[in-house]
Each structure stands twice: as structure tokens, then as C-alpha cells.
């Protein structure tokens, strides 16, 4: 019995494979497509024998298949921001921010509602509903109002469909504010291109729409209180109407006039302007409302200030009243504030 050397045997085997491949591809190689490991497609394949007896596959082109479609409601988690601003001293609540985001992965089919719960000693607490809509994968914000230094936690639960992932609960630490400097406008943000805030400017916060009113905001006559304006999209709104009234509990005077200016500059008012973004010398009886809108057509229809989102804007307010007008001999008078 004659045994062929191994190399000769391999060459004959390779030649047989090449012959078979040639037979299979003859006359239609350009129309053939081979599936390679990993799901890649090889069009117009060609197999040749190398001098060492090995086989070589050449493709006219290779095509990477698209990823499989994501179906189903998916998995839901919640994330916290990378940084958290400190609350602003001088008001209660202190500042409103968009802090947390609901994320969806592994599927985008169907509307999915869920409960989110806000807890902690540094923010307004409570529970509400939010919805991730069909086709939406991420970026659903959960806004909260910080009121002090401490911790705020958001937890999602009660999904109407899909899977609750990890993390379903995240927390942020809210740092202590820097106390304002008496009479010097301390604590007022410095905005490039803006004039210096008026001396004595204090920072406050506008409550969330239809939320609790501020009943203890106090200010001296002609002192400016500057409110950072928050994102209305957080509350699925295009306009807001802050209203200011008097409250006997905070020594409100009678009568008094109010000035309002909406601008990117905190603590700044231009006494020469009186337009949709600047209101001058309105006498307060039971209250006064002066709103803004983030959509130009809505602002024009409602005769409101047009303040598009994307730039931090400030709602600057001052009251003018006669010396000694505050009730009970208080040195400063007080006001109620809410947002409709």
C-alpha cells in the first residue's frame, strides 16, 4: 500500500475543493452571495489556491448586515445630572432645575407610563406620572425644586409595560448656598455682556406652575428681586403667567406699584422701556400678572413677552411704596407669588 505524503494529500484535497467551488460558481459567480461568519455577506466570491496549498477567498464586496430591529416596550432607568447647582440664598423655595432623566433602551414600541417619586430633605417631595411615548428612546425630563442643602432622590416605578432596569432610583447631593452680601447684590450671577446688577438685588425663585405660592417674599421699596426663569417644556407648557399679590401675613402695604423686566440680565431694569417684556408703574390692588411664552405666536396672541428657551432668562421685579407703608411697622413689605 502506498501512502501519499501529507503535503501531496493536502494539495489534492484543496484541488478537489477548488474544483467543486469552480463547478458551483461556474457561469454565475457574479450573481452569488456567500454568508460569512458574523453575518457579513460576500458578493461575487472567488476561491483560489495559494502556492502553499491553502485556499484564499476573495469577495467583490462585503456588506455588514443592519442591526436587528428593536421591538417591544424596552427597559427603563433613570439618570441624574453630572453636576448640581447650589440653591440660591434668600428665597423659599430656592431654585428650580431640570435634574433627572428617564432613559429607554432595548425597544421603543408603545406608550409606557410610570410613577416617579421625589424624596429627600433638599427638594419638594411627592409623586406624579410621566409617559415615554411610542418611538421615544430617552430624554424624558423630571423637574424638581430644590429648597435647601441636602439630598434629592428620584425613583421610577409602576411601569404600564416593559422592564424596570437598574438604576431605577438615583440621588444627588445639593450643596449649601453662598450667603448673599448685605446691600451689595451678593449671590447674583454674573452674566457676560450684562450690566452690573443693581445694589441690593436679591435672588428668588418662581414656583412651578400651579404649585405652592411664596407667601413670605419680602423686599424694600425699589429693591429688585431677580427670579431665574425655568424651562416650560419640563411642564409641557409654552407660556407662564406669574402673578404677584399682597398678603397681610407679610406686612404688605397699600397702595404700591410694581415694575417688571424679563431679560437675560439678573438685577437689571431699564426705566425707559415699557413693552411686552417690560412693565412699569402698575398699581397693585388685588394682584397683577405679567407672563412670558417660549413660542413667538403664543406670545403675540397672549400679549406676553417672547422668551425662547436655550438662554437663561431672569424675571426682575421691584415694588415701590411710601416709607413706613409696611404694616405693623415692618422694615420691608411682603408679597405672594404664584405661577399659572
pLDDT tens-digit series, residues 144-158 = 766 667 888 899 999
Residue 181 lies in a domain: no
- Ranked by mean pLDDT, the top range of 117-131, 151-165, 181-195 is 151-165
- Residues 327 and 231 reside in one and the same domain: yes
Of 8-12, 59-63, 174-178, 245-249, which gets the smallest average pLDDT?
A: 8-12
Domain count for the chain: 3
| pLDDT of res. 216 | 60
Residue 234 lies in a domain: yes
Q: What range does the domain containing 293 cover?
A: 202-339
* Rounded mean pLDDT, 55-84: 76
Mapped to the 3 state alphabet, what secondary structure does the chain carry? Answer: CCCCCHHHHHHHHHHHHHHHHHHHHCCCHHHCEEECHHHCEEECCEEEECCCCCEEEECCEEECCCCCCCCCCCEEEEECCCCCCCCCCCCCCCEEEEEEEEEEECCCCCCEEEEEEEECCCECCEEEEEEECCCCCCCEEEEEEECCCEEEEEEEECCCCCEECCCCEEEEEECCCCCCCCCCCCCCCCCCCCCCCCCCCEECCCCCCCCCCEEEEEECCCCEEEEECCCHHHHCCCEECEEEEECHHHCCCCCEEEEEEEECCCCCCCCCCCECCEEEEEEECCCEECCEECCHHHHHHHCCEECCCCCCCEEEEEEECCCCCCHHHCCCEEEEEEEC
- Residues 207 and 251 reside in one and the same domain: yes
Confidence of residue 69 (pLDDT cuts 50, 70, 90): low
CATH number of the domain bearing residue 138: 2.60.40.2030
* Rounded mean pLDDT, 93-112: 76
- Residues 223 and 325 reside in one and the same domain: yes
- Residues 218 and 305 reside in one and the same domain: yes
- Residues 226 and 307 reside in one and the same domain: yes
Which residues partner with 162 through β-bridges? none
| Residue 213 or 2, more confident | 213
- Residues 16 and 96 reside in one and the same domain: no
- Residues 18 and 145 reside in one and the same domain: no
| pLDDT of res. 97 | 56
CATH number of the domain bearing residue 249: 2.60.120
* Rounded mean pLDDT, 64-75: 73
- Residues 277 and 309 reside in one and the same domain: yes
Mean pLDDT of the chain: 75
pTM of the model: 0.48
- Residues 143 and 16 reside in one and the same domain: no
Residue 190 lies in a domain: no
* Rounded mean pLDDT, 96-104: 74
Report the percentage of the chain scoring pLDDT > 70. 73
Cis amide leading into 194 (omega within 30): no
* Rounded mean pLDDT, 202-231: 77
- Residues 139 and 49 reside in one and the same domain: no
Whether the per-residue pLDDT at 333 is higher than 50: the answer is yes
| Residue 132 or 208, more confident | 132
- Residues 275 and 331 reside in one and the same domain: yes
* pLDDT tens by residue, 289-307: 888 988 988 888 888 899 8
Amino acid at each position: 500500500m502506498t501512502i501519499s505524503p501529507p503535503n501531496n494529500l493536502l494539495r489534492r484535497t484543496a484541488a478537489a475543493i477548488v474544483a467543486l467551488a469552480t463547478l458551483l460558481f461556474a457561469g454565475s459567480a457574479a450573481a452569488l452571495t456567500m454568508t460569512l461568519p458574523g453575518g457579513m455577506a460576500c458578493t461575487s466570491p472567488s476561491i483560489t489556491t495559494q502556492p502553499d496549498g491553502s485556499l484564499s477567498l476573495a469577495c467583490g464586496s462585503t456588506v455588514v448586515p443592519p442591526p436587528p430591529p428593536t421591538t417591544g416596550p424596552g427597559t427603563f432607568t433613570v439618570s441624574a445630572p453630572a453636576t448640581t447647582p447650589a440653591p440660591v440664598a434668600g428665597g423659599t423655595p430656592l431654585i428650580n432645575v431640570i435634574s433627572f432623566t428617564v432613559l429607554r433602551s432595548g425597544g421603543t414600541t408603545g406608550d409606557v407610563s410610570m410613577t416617579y417619586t421625589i424624596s429627600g430633605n433638599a427638594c419638594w417631595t411627592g409623586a406624579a406620572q410621566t409617559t415615554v411615548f411610542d418611538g421615544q428612546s430617552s430624554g424624558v425630563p423630571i423637574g424638581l425644586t430644590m429648597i435647601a442643602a441636602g439630598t434629592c432622590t428620584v425613583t421610577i416605578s409602576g411601569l404600564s409595560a416593559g422592564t424596570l432596569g437598574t438604576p431605577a432610583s438615583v440621588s444627588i447631593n445639593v450643596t449649601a448656598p453662598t450667603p448673599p452680601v448685605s446691600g451689595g447684590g451678593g449671590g447674583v450671577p454674573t452674566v457676560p455682556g450684562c450690566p452690573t446688577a443693581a445694589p441690593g438685588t436679591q435672588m428668588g425663585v418662581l414656583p412651578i406652575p400651579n404649585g405652592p405660592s411664596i407667601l413670605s417674599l419680602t423686599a424694600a421699596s425699589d429693591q429688585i428681586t431677580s427670579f431665574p426663569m425655568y424651562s416650560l417644556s419640563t411642564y409641557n407648557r409654552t407660556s407662564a403667567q406669574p402673578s404677584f399679590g399682597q398678603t397681610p401675613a407679610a406686612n404688605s402695604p397699600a397702595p404700591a406699584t410694581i415694575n417688571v423686566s424679563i431679560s437675560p440680565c439678573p438685577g437689571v431694569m431699564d426705566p425707559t422701556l415699557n413693552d411686552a417684556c417690560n412693565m412699569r408703574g402698575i398699581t397693585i390692588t388685588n394682584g397683577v400678572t405679567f407672563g412670558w411664552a417660549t413660542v413667538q405666536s403664543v406670545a403675540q396672541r397672549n400679549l406676553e413677552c417672547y422668551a425662547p428657551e436655550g438662554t437663561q432668562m431672569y424675571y426682575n421685579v421691584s415694588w415701590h411704596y411710601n416709607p413706613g407703608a409696611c404694616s405693623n411697622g415692618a422694615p420691608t413689605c411682603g408679597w405672594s407669588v404664584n405661577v399659572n
